[in-house]
Structure 1
Amino acid sequence: MDEVSGYDKGERDYINLKGDTGPLVYPAGFVYLFSWLRSITHGAILPAQYIFAALYLATQFIVMALYITSCTMPPWSLVLLCLSRRLHSIFVLRLFNDLVIKEARVGDALRGVIAGIILQGLLGLPFLKTYPKSYLLRAFEFSRVFTFKWSVNWQFLPEDVFTSQRFALLLLFLHLRLLWSFAQYHWFKEEGGILPAFTQFFKRGSGDEKRRNTTAAAAAASLEYKDTVMMNIFPPREWTSALFIVLHGIILWSVWASPAPAPKVARTVIFARNLKDKAAIA
């Protein structure tokens, strides 16, 4: 809400919109959402936390209901949901805007991209009409260089190496290479490789989504403090960054060595059998 205060005061040049943690680097939808939140809470943090707490409880209720309905999760897994540092950070501590995630298929993704472009154009119209260059450069800042002190996973590197373009390109290459390798030899091996895999990329279930997230984290320039307990140390330490890289390398290898997720048909059959067994016991 601090970053949108300038917008509420009439500022329309995106370059001048900033807060205590840095410049505003999100598209216009973020501005409108938190401007509305700022208006109904009169700029106070506590009422906003109450709103996010209600969203947190609703999210927990839905996820717990899914766990129970699936008949595949043990009862103690519900306790882990309540202990999730990531959920606490998103909903209560920092009031992030990443509250909704939807799995998409190819058709949904294409329609979403088209609709997103149109919607972004409409939402950003007040800024595009006044300072279009500032809006495009700041809201979609692909050339942005991460600040070294905020990197929780590369503190053991020299700052000049971390901020260099070569290192950024190396991470990009590493990420793309990991995605290609997993798709070619693991996710879609039975489908014949990368080309058929590309057309079916969005048809996969949550198992592949977790694997894609694992490869992304391995090649990220920096990760959020909210993601894990290990990274919630400020300022970041060299040993925590090194330990994270080692542990994440182990996780990445484990994911590579693990069996591919069951096809959707098989998951449906397993789910149906679990429901049938539960009904028989009842």
Structure 2
Amino acid sequence: MASIINFVADVATNRSWTTPICVALLLFEAVLNVAVIWKVPYTEIDWEAYMQEVEGVVNGSYNYSTLEGGTGPLVYPAGFVYVFLAFYYVTSYGANIRLAQYIFAGLYMLNLGLVFKLYHATKKVPPFVLAAMCLVAYRIHSIFVLRLFNDPLAMILLYLAVNLFVSGRWTTGCAVFSLAVSVKMNILLFAPGLGILLLQSLGPVRTFVNIAMCAVIQVALGAPFLLVDPMAYMSRSFNLGRQFFFKWTVNWRFLAEETFLDRRFHAALLALHLLLLISFALFRWTRSQGGVAALFRTVYPLKKLSADHIITVLFASNLIGMACARSLHYQFYVWYYHTIPYLLWSTSLPTVIRLALLLGIEVAWNVYPSTNWSSALLHVCHAMLLAALWISKSPAPAAATPKQD
């Protein structure tokens, strides 16, 4: 009996078991997703609206001011249109919901495989945490296969881009990153961290070239709509001032609605967001290299960045944006769900505190509708995680010689 217990403990905590555990979890998830599709009723929220929005394009309209669905106007960039046009045709003009669910189940597996590849690159997180990440992902399964939201599509492209960055393929990774932004602009929350990493790895000149390439991709994808009505396309697909409904907020339920809608409150959150980004950029992410200003004086590419540094900076950049968001809705959980364990194990917190924060965030996102205490709990967990990342030792930026595209 003791030997069995020791074996189970070793499998759960020994990082050398990461690969077989990931394979086992992928097989488990394949069965689980099919079971969810069979046993849990599908809930219509946005799928029909997506289909109505892209149907407008099928009917010949490329003016964003006229493209809309049952939930309102089309508010996503052109990449979203192309992806869901493909779904529109494959699923018999959106009518074959069951086929769409199976497609999203496959996308769930792809997303998880890309996430596991990142975790495997550093083996920082013990296997039992990866298992827990799968076992408690009730809302994530729902977002993928029971709701068919567009958020997972953007995140799959994001995780693919991060894997490319880890392998040193910065130009290809930036192209994929731009494609992710074209599906949903929440991916821009990762952009400040990516900018720092590009400077650290490539220097200022190649950083500028890569950013310009990302912009060209956005223009190329949006060209059919930009040529018809550029203002309508830009104002709707990249609307940074969009107002959210108070009834759906997960993170600000404890505020009065008038405060939630107040522009001064939004400005304060933006200021806090910028302050945190600047502080992490100056004192955590680039401190060992002399700060951000020193990176702009670098002429030649630096050494290849370590996988741990790349992943931590990108995930932390996104977390800062999530913590300062004007509103978070339930489907937004997928924006950072798979990054939280990595960030927790990037801190020096005791394991029991890490698990408590993991549980606290999970509880906050699974209270429906949100309450004063659940939204307050979410902020407490975010603040504690950010504070722990601030005081913990940052991963070493440099690894080996850079591998270029």
Moved more, 52-61 or 150-159: 52-61
Question: Is the contact made by 1:60 and 1:81 (CA closer than 8 Å) also made in structure 2?
Answer: no
Counterpart of 1:92 in structure 2 is 145
Counterpart of 1:120 in structure 2 is 218
Q: Residue 142 of structure 1: which of 215, 230, 240 is its match?
A: 240
Question: Is the contact made by 1:180 and 1:194 (CA closer than 8 Å) also made in structure 2?
Answer: no
CA deviations on 1:238-269 (whole Å, 9 max, x unpaired) are 2211121122212221111211112332xx7x
Q: How does 1:43-58 map to 2 (within 5 A)?
A: 43=94, 44-58=96-110
C-alpha distance in structure 2 between counterparts of 1:35 and 1:182, whole Å: 40
Note if 1:222 corresponds to 2:330: no
Deviation at 1:172, TM superposition (A): 0.8
Q: Go from structure 1 to structure 2 and tell me whether the alpha carbon gap of 1:198 and 1:37 turns closer, same or farther (over 3 Å shift).
A: farther
Question: Is the contact made by 2:139 and 2:366 (CA closer than 8 Å) also made in structure 1?
Answer: no
Give the structure-1-normalised TM-score. 0.80
Q: Go from structure 1 to structure 2 and tell me whether the alpha carbon gap of 1:232 and 1:196 turns closer, same or farther (over 3 Å shift).
A: farther
Q: Go from structure 1 to structure 2 and tell me whether the alpha carbon gap of 1:119 and 1:55 turns closer, same or farther (over 3 Å shift).
A: same
C-alpha distance in structure 1 between counterparts of 2:116 and 2:238, whole Å: 36
CA deviations on 1:29-81 (whole Å, 9 max, x unpaired) are 21111011111111122212212212322343454466557555544344234
Q: Go from structure 1 to structure 2 and tell me whether the alpha carbon gap of 1:182 and 1:86 turns closer, same or farther (over 3 Å shift).
A: farther
CA deviations on 1:199-253 (whole Å, 9 max, x unpaired) are 89x9651122222222212211122413163224443222211121122212221
Counterpart of 2:268 in structure 1 is 170
Q: AA paired with 1:147?
A: F
Note if 1:205 corresponds to 2:310: yes
Q: Residue 250 of structure 1: which of 374, 380, 384 is its match?
A: 384
Counterpart of 1:274 in structure 2 is none
C-alpha distance in structure 1 between counterparts of 2:372 and 2:296, whole Å: 38
Question: Is the contact made by 1:29 and 1:123 (CA closer than 8 Å) also made in structure 2?
Answer: yes
Question: Is the contact made by 1:52 and 1:92 (CA closer than 8 Å) also made in structure 2?
Answer: yes
Note if 1:80 corresponds to 2:185: no
Deviation at 1:90, TM superposition (A): 4.9
C-alpha distance in structure 1 between counterparts of 2:327 and 2:282, whole Å: 27
Counterpart of 2:90 in structure 1 is 40
Q: Go from structure 1 to structure 2 and tell me whether the alpha carbon gap of 1:85 and 1:193 turns closer, same or farther (over 3 Å shift).
A: farther
Instruction: Give percent identity, aligned residues only.
Output: 39
C-alpha distance in structure 2 between counterparts of 1:66 and 1:159, whole Å: 40
Q: Residue 24 of structure 1: which of 74, 82, 85 is its match?
A: 74
Note if 1:239 corresponds to 2:239: no
Q: Go from structure 1 to structure 2 and tell me whether the alpha carbon gap of 1:197 and 1:172 turns closer, same or farther (over 3 Å shift).
A: farther
Q: Go from structure 1 to structure 2 and tell me whether the alpha carbon gap of 1:66 and 1:168 turns closer, same or farther (over 3 Å shift).
A: closer
Select the structure that is richer in helix.
2
Question: Is the contact made by 1:56 and 1:91 (CA closer than 8 Å) also made in structure 2?
Answer: yes
Question: Is the contact made by 2:259 and 2:265 (CA closer than 8 Å) also made in structure 1?
Answer: yes
Q: AA paired with 1:243?
A: L
C-alpha distance in structure 2 between counterparts of 1:238 and 1:38, whole Å: 39
- List runs of 5+ in structure 1 lacking aligned partners: 269-282
C-alpha distance in structure 2 between counterparts of 1:147 and 1:166, whole Å: 17
Q: Residue 251 of structure 2: which of 150, 153, 164 is its match?
A: 153
Counterpart of 1:276 in structure 2 is none
Q: AA paired with 1:220?
A: A
C-alpha distance in structure 2 between counterparts of 1:50 and 1:29, whole Å: 21
Give the structure-2-normalised TM-score. 0.58
Counterpart of 1:278 in structure 2 is none
How many residue pairs get matched?
265
- List runs of 5+ in structure 2 lacking aligned partners: 1-49, 163-169, 171-197, 299-303, 334-360, 401-405
Deviation at 1:187, TM superposition (A): 2.4
Deviation at 1:120, TM superposition (A): 2.7
